[in-house]
Structure 1
């Protein structure tokens, strides 16, 4: 196996272990190694290959998630500004109602509307969260894979 330092490609992604590819002939390999040794080497190479693929996927996903998080900061700032400016809108509504009603009644009506909106959105959120289910297709697929590997490992 090569080390992590030897297979950087300048893409900014962390390097992953790799299997060295050599131009050795099959006759030379057969002379030097027993069947058990060949199986051991093949198993080690397959394990390294699977780990390398998983590591590559993890590094690519991590890079994309970081980009997404950096971009989402702007959305968070925009929502924060919108949230703080909503105070002025509700204050405006109360002052507008103050023209026709006593001041205390105008602010009480605006507070009641805000409270009603909060309860309504909380109820909608509760309904959505209540509908969450386990990823059944993924669980079934994983069980099928484990069962297939066990069946294959039985020597059948």
Structure 2
């Protein structure tokens, strides 16, 4: 005869279900906390990158002014020094634009996807011409 301390099968299943639910809820809470920390760290990192980018932008402006004034210190008119610096920047921008255009021209349509779609169309057309049901998957010839 079973002892009174033993639980019935239904009680064991209920306890296991309750414990499993508690475990899943605990894991979800842990995942939420970890994600919250990760997102906060990523946000701080992105803010730091943004601040660094802004400071680099300011440094480029100041270095450009310094370069223009340095050219004018060589005996040229200050306006000519600023035009030279601006010209150098325009040459660099033109070079970057040229390289960018060349890279864009290299981009093409997704050839593998197009080929795969054409093969699927051909397979569908072949199965329809054989009289098979188009809703049923066609047998693949091997």
State the Cα deviation string for residues 74-96 of structure 1 (Å, max 9, x = none): 58624444334321121111111
- Structure 2: which 5+ residue stretches go unaligned? 1-26, 33-38, 133-137
The whole-number CA distance in structure 2 between the counterparts of 1:116 and 1:149 is 55
Match of 1:135 in 2: 110
The whole-number CA distance in structure 2 between the counterparts of 1:114 and 1:146 is 52
Q: Whose RCO is larger (CA < 8 A, sep 6+)?
A: 1
State the Cα deviation string for residues 94-153 of structure 1 (Å, max 9, x = none): 111121022121111111111111111111111111111101111101221233244345
Moved over 3 A (4+): 9-12, 70-76, 78-81, 149-154
Match of 1:96 in 2: 70
Question: Relative to structure 1, is the Cα distance of residues 149 and 76 closer, same or farther in structure 2, using a 3 angstrom cutoff?
Answer: farther
State the Cα deviation string for residues 39-62 of structure 1 (Å, max 9, x = none): xxxxxxxxxxxxxxxxxxxxxxxx
Match of 1:113 in 2: 88
Counting only pairs closer than 5 Å after superposition, residues 33-72 of structure 1 correspond to structure 2 as: none
Question: Relative to structure 1, is the Cα distance of residues 135 and 76 closer, same or farther in structure 2, using a 3 angstrom cutoff?
Answer: farther
Bigger proportion of residues as helix:
2
**Bigger radius of gyration, 1 or 2?**
2
- Structure 1: which 5+ residue stretches go unaligned? 1-8, 13-66
